Structure 1
Amino acid sequence: MSSDHAHDCPCADPITQLRQLFVNKTMGTRINAGQDPVRRAVFLKPHGGAKATWWVRPHLPAELRVGLLAYDQLAAWLRFSSDTVPFASDLGTTLGVGIKLFGVHGRKLLTGEEAALTHDLVLQNYPVFFVDTAKDMCEFTYEGLVGDGYDAYLAKHPKTRKILDLMQQNLASVFDAVYWSGLPYAFGQGRYVKYRLALEALNPQPPGNPQLNPNFLHDDLRSRLLAGPIDLHFSIQLRTNPKLMPLDAATVEWSSELAPPLHVATLTLPQQDIDAPGQAAYVENLAFNPWHALPEHAPVGSISEARKVVYQASAELRRQRNGIPIVEPRQPRHDLT
């Protein structure tokens, strides 16, 4: 993909330029305007954070007991959010979930955090990304922030427009979404997967009025977890056809017929109050980076390579400005008694 501004767009080094656009320009502009506390570059609007337990399914075949799946049980914290600003309505937003698993031993891929005992997973509510490569992402972002605007780019790139429209869903609950990694990951030596997270059955709740409540996703999340525990199924799609399942063409969906999702673990969110004192602040101060991971689960593709740099720089700037230590937590937050 390329825009008419490609000759003006400094995307020969897309990762460096994306860091400049998301961290220096986007976050820097907000900081200069007085944003306090400083928020993330993307997925700014939190719906709530929840503690959870990761259970690996018993009797998995030995060939699936890779990395995280070698553990029977891990503590976890989840952050549900939308890719919009905090004061905007929850209607028509792209939903995401960040997962931080605790007690994961071994070297991590992110420089400076080799000895950390956590592992991150980052997913959103659509099975593909809206551009194919880091260069495409750079051109899209540059056009939007510096060039003629996002509409001008989308007018020339109908596939990207279609995917972005499909990502902006009207959902009554964060648990109505099916979350995908979108991008591929290694799965041990020579194998690759994509991730899927979904609730298999949702207990109906009386619908609220999203038109009157811009924060209805938070209220629904709180209501459901006050009522009782919820289980989310974590699945993997094993790559079976390299030609039809590319590693650096992120708009290409991996067929569920060729690669049926395999349920390998369950995240159990116990009954809890997501508005308990300190819980929201704890989760907002966490940083999620898909490269904060075991080598067995290394992210793959140029967009993932860009994420490594941009996410780390964004988290370091946010934590530094907010007075938060730039380190991974050693233990999960426990209930106050």
Structure 2
Amino acid sequence: MHPKAHGCVDATFQINEDIPADLRVGLFSTPGKKYQARIRYSNATALVDNDVDISAESKKVTNKSRGMAVKVLDIEPGGDFLQEDCGARNQDFLMINTPSFAFANVSDYLLLNQILVEDNDDIRRFFAPLASGDFTKEQQAVAAQTFKIVQQISAIPVADPLESSYFGAAPFGFGDKQVMRFTAKPRVAANPQVLPNNPSPNYLKEALDERMKQAQPVVFDFMLQVRKKSEDNLVIENATQHWDEAKYPFVKVAVITIAAPQTNISTAENQTACENLVFNPWHALSAHEPLGGINRLRKAVYNKSAETRLEDTPSTCPFSDNNT
């Protein structure tokens, strides 16, 4: 997933000075602590293709899922790491521009990806249960929930990767007794975003490159939803679940600042460095352990993907667990 990058930028990730005492856990333990970071913006689709699909008949635009991956660099000693990042203690936060995944569990994800591979990134066959009486109610419910989320994705235009909100989607540990979800929300964003007329196949890369030539820095608030692990209604294994923000409000805990200008986004050197980055939710402090079947799947798949993708790149990096 996410094979098409729009670009990578340098940033800082700073814990808020006024972070509430009960949220000072793991990476967020020290108020005011500032880290260097690297951010990759991408499409979440399985193929390197146009940034939007435009129907030749209706001229209707179908939007795609977008990604923002944040690598917080060089976490100081003091907490166990689940998996180091090529020998470094980097905390990765992988996000998409919808609050939930479009698939609930590993079996649904496997079926979805098999269909995408076999049908050239066309998802429609996954929704066959909705049009047939030959499927169980459970199969129809799975297809209906995924269809709802895919419709939401298609309805979200992104004109500039730096003006969209992004979400961790799956649950993660927050110490021993709590669970978190996280989001990055831009302080300045066009609402709603309006796509350019006749967008080019790589219009998001072009938008990112143009925005980073400007002098004004880009700022995201990094926020958490936190709830107890012991709550009976917490369904960690269902990655489509949405947490009610009225009950579990997002709380600001850190600030991501992308300094500008950065005029090297499209240089060959920066693009190569961007391609060679490895993001994995298991590059994490043990206090923020990825939870649920989807996250357990990601550990093995992302490691194998990185190993295969970089097999011709000189590296001594082992894509495997260090401490687990």
TM-score (norm 2): 0.80
Q: Distance in 2 between matches of 1:87 and 1:63?
A: 44
1:64 has 2:64 as partner: no
1:136 alignment partner AA: D
- Specify whether residues 202 and 107 from structure 1 end up closer, same or farther in structure 2 by C-alpha distance, changes over 3 A only: same
Residue pairs, 1:41-190, within 5 angstroms? 42-71=1-30, 72-84=33-45, 85-90=47-52, 92-105=63-76, 106-110=79-83, 116-145=88-117, 150-156=123-129, 157-168=143-154, 169-190=156-177
Identify which of 269, 292, 295 aligns with 1:278: 269
2:303 alignment partner AA: Q
Identify which of 289, 309, 316 aligns with 2:307: 316
2:74 alignment partner AA: G
- Specify whether residues 243 and 114 from structure 1 end up closer, same or farther in structure 2 by C-alpha distance, changes over 3 A only: farther
Question: Given that residues 51 and 204 in structure 2 are in contact (C-alpha distance below 8 angstroms), is that contact kept between their aligned partners in structure 1?
Answer: no
1:299 alignment partner AA: P
Q: Distance in 1 between matches of 2:202 and 2:276?
A: 20
Partner of 2:178: 191
- After superposition, the CA RMSD in angstroms is 2.6
Q: Distance in 2 between matches of 1:280 and 1:67?
A: 32
1:165 alignment partner AA: Q
Q: Percent identity?
A: 26
Number of residues of Structure 1 aligned to a counterpart in Structure 2: 285
Give the match's secondary structure for 2:219. Answer: strand
Question: Given that residues 37 and 70 in structure 2 are in contact (C-alpha distance below 8 angstroms), is that contact kept between their aligned partners in structure 1?
Answer: yes
Residue pairs, 1:263-302, within 5 angstroms? 263-271=252-260, 272-273=262-263, 274-276=265-267, 278-302=269-293
Q: Distance in 2 between matches of 1:142 and 1:179?
A: 26
Question: Given that residues 77 and 283 in structure 1 are in contact (C-alpha distance below 8 angstroms), is that contact kept between their aligned partners in structure 2?
Answer: no
Identify which of 230, 236, 252 aligns with 2:218: 230
- Specify whether residues 77 and 90 from structure 1 end up closer, same or farther in structure 2 by C-alpha distance, changes over 3 A only: farther
TM-score (norm 1): 0.77
- Specify whether residues 140 and 69 from structure 1 end up closer, same or farther in structure 2 by C-alpha distance, changes over 3 A only: same
Question: Given that residues 81 and 284 in structure 2 are in contact (C-alpha distance below 8 angstroms), is that contact kept between their aligned partners in structure 1?
Answer: yes
Q: Distance in 2 between matches of 1:221 and 1:113?
A: 26
- Specify whether residues 248 and 89 from structure 1 end up closer, same or farther in structure 2 by C-alpha distance, changes over 3 A only: same
- Specify whether residues 211 and 302 from structure 1 end up closer, same or farther in structure 2 by C-alpha distance, changes over 3 A only: same
**Deviation of 1:281 (Å):** 1.5
Write out per-residue CA displacement over residues 18-43 of structure 1, whole angstroms, 9 at most, x where no aligned residue: xxxxxxxxxxxxxxxxxxxxxxxx11
- Specify whether residues 146 and 209 from structure 1 end up closer, same or farther in structure 2 by C-alpha distance, changes over 3 A only: closer
2:96 alignment partner AA: Q
**Deviation of 1:319 (Å):** 1.0
Q: Distance in 1 between matches of 2:304 and 2:297?
A: 11
The worse-fitting range, judged by mean Cα deviation, of 100-109 and 240-249 is 240-249
Q: Which runs of 5+ in 2 are unaligned?
A: 54-62, 130-142, 320-324
Q: Which runs of 5+ in 1 are unaligned?
A: 1-41, 329-337
Q: Distance in 2 between matches of 1:202 and 1:158?
A: 31
Partner of 1:255: 244
Q: Distance in 1 between matches of 2:204 and 2:19?
A: 34
Q: Distance in 2 between matches of 1:325 and 1:207?
A: 44
Give the match's secondary structure for 1:154. Answer: helix
Question: Given that residues 128 and 250 in structure 1 are in contact (C-alpha distance below 8 angstroms), is that contact kept between their aligned partners in structure 2?
Answer: yes
Q: Distance in 1 between matches of 2:277 and 2:289?
A: 21
Partner of 1:13: none
Give the match's secondary structure for 1:218. Answer: helix
Q: Distance in 2 between matches of 1:117 and 1:132?
A: 30
Question: Given that residues 245 and 254 in structure 1 are in contact (C-alpha distance below 8 angstroms), is that contact kept between their aligned partners in structure 2?
Answer: no
Question: Given that residues 163 and 190 in structure 2 are in contact (C-alpha distance below 8 angstroms), is that contact kept between their aligned partners in structure 1?
Answer: no
